[in-house]
Amino acid sequence: MTKRDERGSASVFIVGMAITLVVVAGLVFDGGGALNARMTLADDVEAAAVAGAQATDEIYAHTNNEFRIDRDEAQDRAEAAMRAQGYSNFQVYVPADGSYVRVTATDTIGTKMLSLIGYNSFEVHATATAEPGIPD
């Protein structure tokens, strides 16, 4: 039998384990950051939708005894709420009947540890809808 040369095999193992540990740590650290950013975005989108839904058409409400959203004011309020939180990539939709406000947004979150292996950012999305009315 011939003797096999195993010099350097431990180095390959250590390098492989180091890369694996960086990836796992990156997923925990940066993945947790992305989840936190997603929750923050969801909260901000919901607040903007509620701000828009509070823009009721008062004349319509008094004459018809029913709540309807003033589309222009709702659009302005929801957009202002999103801009105040520093977002620029969002859409606000109010249908013609003024029955609800829908706000959708996307944000990009930079990574710290995963950037070491070339994964530089996460993209997070959130959508919220709010209707006019008196809260229960």
Q: What is the pLDDT of residue 38?
A: 94
Q: What is the pLDDT of residue 49?
A: 96
Q: What does residue 119 show for φ and ψ, rounded to 5 degrees?
A: -100, 100
- CA of 56: how far to CAs of 1, 82, 84, 98, in Å? 88, 19, 21, 9
pTM for the complete prediction? 0.77
The H-or-E segment that residue 105 falls in is strand 101-110
Q: Where are the alpha helices (DSSP H) in the chain?
A: 9-53, 58-64, 71-84
pLDDT at 1 over 60: no
Q: How confident is the prediction for the chain on average, in pLDDT?
A: 86
Q: What is the pLDDT of residues 33-90, one digit of tens each?
A: 889 999 999 999 999 999 999 888 666 665 776 777 889 999 999 999 999 999 999 9
Q: Residue 18 — pLDDT band, cuts 50, 70, 90?
A: confident
Domain ranges of the chain: 11-130
Q: What is the pLDDT of residue 2?
A: 61
Q: Residue 136 — pLDDT band, cuts 50, 70, 90?
A: low
User: What number is the average pLDDT over the span 91-117?
Assistant: 91
